[in-house]
Chains A and B, each alone.
Chain A
C-alpha cells in the first residue's frame, strides 16, 4: 500500500515535470512565432519612435549629414508659436465634431439597422463604401460638393435656402466644420459596422426581459443597448479620436490648411514645417507633441471607462 502510494506520488512528480516541460516548450514556440512580428515592430515602430524623440532635440534640414543639438529649443519655439496653438485648437474642434458625429449617429444608425429585417446588408454596404474609398477621392468629391457652384449650394437653392449658400471651404468660419463632416462621412460606415457587430452580440434575453417589463424602444436603447455597448463605444471613440487627431489627407487635398489657417491641424502644420521649410527637427517636436496629446487623451478615456465599469 505504502509502495503504491509512493509510486503514485512519483508519477505525479514526473507528470508535473513533463507538464512544466511541455508548457515551457509551448511558450518557446509561441515566442518563436511572435519573434518576426516583434522584430518588425521594434524595427519599424519602436526604433523610429525613439529616433523621432531624439530628432526633436536637434535642428536638421532633413538631408544634411550634420545636425545641431538644441536641447528643448524646438519645443520652446513650438509653444511660443501662435499658429501651433491655432492648429491644436482646430484639431480639437475637428476631433470633437468627428467623434460626436460618428459615435452618436453611428450608434443610432446601427441600432436602427439591427432592428431592420430586410435590406440590412445593402445599407451596411452603402454606409461602408466611403470607408474603402481612397481618401483623395473623398477629398475631391467633397471639394466639388462644397464649391460655390457645387452640389450643396445648388441643393440649398432648390429647397429655398439660397440665402445660406456660400463657398464652404473658402469661408474661415465654415471650412473646418465642412471638412469634419466630409471626414465623418468617410469614416462613419466603420462605426456603424462595429456598433452593429456589438449590438448583435448582446444577449437577446435582456431585450425579452425589458419587453416583459414594458420597456419601449427608446428605453431599451438607453437601458439595454447603450450600457451593453460601453466597451464597443470606447473602442469606436478611441479609433475615431486617434484618426481625427491624425487627419491630414482630406485637408491637404482640399484647403492645405487655409483659408487663413482655419483648417490648419497639427499634421498639416508639421508637414509644412518639415517638407516645405525643411525643418525636420522642429517637425519632429510637433510629431512628439501630437503623440503625447493623443496618448494622453486615449489614456484618460480608458481610465474613465475603467472607473465607470468599477
Chain B
C-alpha cells in the first residue's frame, strides 16, 4: 500500500471551542502503594498489542508496577461504578467514550482532567479537534481514545471468487451479490447476530449514515433534525426489506455474535457487517482463513456517494483520586503517542488516533483493505461509525430493541424511528446529549 496519512475525523462539523486550559495537574495527591491499577476490557490470558506495550512501559518504570485487571468484553463493567464512588477503583481504565455511562463519572468529578497533559505533551497535535470534542466536558479533556474504528462489509474472498462475484459499489450490485449467494445455498448471506442486538445495529447505523450523510447526522445530533426524517425512514425500510427477504437468515434473533462470528470464519456465512475491532481477535480465531477475509464499503442505500466512517474506540480515563496520575498520563503518552507504540498497535490490527504512516508497517491484510476503502471515499465526507458514541445510553437501548423488533417482525420501521425520536427528545430535554460547543484549548 502506498504511504497513507490517515486523519481520523468523526464527521462532526462542530462549532467553535470554549475557552479553558484545564485544571492544575498538581492537586494534592494521596500517597501511593507503588501499584498502578489498570482495568482493561480484554480477555484474560489474551495478550494484545496494548498489554504488551504496558508490560514494556512497566519494565522501564521500576518505581511503579502496573497491575492489569482483565474486564472481559464488558465496557464499563458494573463493578467500576461502586468502586469509583467508594473512592477506590483503578488508577486508570478503558471504557466507553461520549455521552454514555462514562459521563456520570466525569460529572461526579471522579475522572482526572487530562487537558494539562494534552497540552504539555503535544497530544493536541495528534488528536483531531472533532475527536477530542467527543471526550471533552466544559472545555476539559477527560479521555484518550485508543483507536479509530471504521466498519465495512466483511466477506469471504474465496466464496466470492468461486461464485464469480465482484465487490459491489452500488446497492443494486450489492443486492445481486446477496441473491446470488442465496441461490447458491447460503441461507444467511449477511450474518447479523440479532440475539446480541449490538452487532446488527451497526449495520442499520451504517445504512442511516449512508442515507443522511455527514450533514444529515450533524443536523440531527446538534441541530433541529429528527430521527424520523426521510433518510432515516428510507434506510430503516430497506433494512426491514433485507430482513423480509430472508437475507439475515431464517432466525437472526437466535443468532449470537459468537455463533455468527464462528460461522463467518468457517465460511458458512459469507458476509457480515462489522468493524476493525474484530481484526486483532480474528487473527487468532479465524486461523488459516484470516487471509481469506476481505472488506468493502457498504454501497449507498440512496444511490448517493459512499462516505468514509470513523469513531473513537475505547476511551482511556485516569482516576481523579489516583496517586499515580502523572504516571498514568505518562503511560498514555507512551501507549498512544510514541511512534514505536503506534506502529505496534497498528500491526496488532487497531488504528491509533491521528495521522499514521503505514508505509513501513506490515498490516494485517484485512486492515489494509479496510483503510484503503476508507481512503477511497474520504473525499465524500466522513460519517460516525457508532451511534452509541454520540448519543446517551438510552438511545442505543431503544435502537437495539427496535432493531430486534424489526427482525422479529413486531416493529415497523416507522415505530423504530419514532421511538428513537421520543427517547432523543427526553434525553435532550434532560441535557444528556453531546455538547457540541465544547472543545479543549491549550
Instruction: Tell me the A residues contacting B by CB distance below 8 Å.
Output: 61-65, 147-148, 166-172, 255-256, 258-261, 271-272, 275-278
Contacts and interface: CB of A to CB of B under 8 A. Distances in A.
19 contacts: A63-B85, A64-B107, A65-B108, A148-B251, A166-B254, A167-B251, A168-B254, A169-B195, A170-B252, A170-B255, A172-B408, A258-B253, A258-B400, A259-B197, A259-B253, A260-B408, A260-B411, A275-B81, A277-B101
A277 B78 contact: no
Contacts of B41: none
Contacts of A148: 251, 254-255
A255 B195 contact: yes
Contacts of B410: 172, 260
- Specify which of B110, B195, B397, B411 lies most central, judged by the most chain A CB atoms within 10 Å of its CB: B195
A258 B81 contact: no
Contacts of A171: 251, 253-254, 408
B84 interface: yes
A261 B81 contact: no
Given A167-B254, A258-B197, 20 more contacts: A61-B107, A63-B104, A64-B109, A147-B254, A148-B254, A167-B255, A169-B195, A170-B194, A170-B195, A170-B253, A170-B254, A258-B195, A258-B253, A259-B408, A260-B411, A277-B392, A277-B394, A278-B81, A278-B101, A278-B393
Contacts of A276: 101, 393, 397
Interface in B385-401: 392-394, 397, 400-401
Contact of B253 (A63, A65, A172, A271): A172
B405 A260 contact: yes
Nearest to B393: A277
Nearest to B392: A277
A170 B109 CA distance: 41
Query: How many residues of B sit at the interface, in one of the four size bands?
Result: 20 to 34
Nearest to A174: B254
Contact of A261 (B104, B110, B255, B401): B401
Given A63-B85, A167-B251, A168-B254, A278 B104 contact: yes
B269 interface: no
B404 interface: yes
Nearest to A62: B81
Given A63-B105, A169-B254, A172-B253, A258 B393 contact: no
B175 interface: no
B259 interface: yes
A259 B404 contact: yes
A61 B108 CA distance: 8
- Specify which of B251, B253, B259 lies most central, judged by the most chain A CB atoms within 10 Å of its CB: B253
Contact of B108 (A64, A172, A256): A64
A122 B81 CA distance: 45
Nearest to B406: A260
B305 to A, nearest CB: 34
Contacts of B251: 148, 166-167, 170-171
B407 interface: yes
Interface in B110-160: 110
A260 B404 contact: yes
A272 B254 contact: no
A62 B108 CA distance: 9
Contacts of A260: 401, 404-405, 408, 410-411
- Specify which of B78, B103, B108 lies most central, judged by the most chain A CB atoms within 10 Å of its CB: B108
A276 B108 CA distance: 16
A282 to B, nearest CB: 11
A277 B105 CA distance: 12
A-B CB proximity, top 9 nearest = A167-B254, A170-B254, A170-B253, A278-B104, A63-B108, A61-B104, A64-B108, A167-B251, A63-B85
Contacts of B397: 272, 276-277
Interface in B231-280: 251-256, 259
A278 to B, nearest CB: 4
Contacts of B404: 258-260
A255 B194 CA distance: 11
Nearest to A277: B393
A65 B86 CA distance: 11
B320 to A, nearest CB: 11
Contacts of B78: 271, 275
Contacts of B105: 63
B407 A259 contact: yes
A276 B401 CA distance: 15
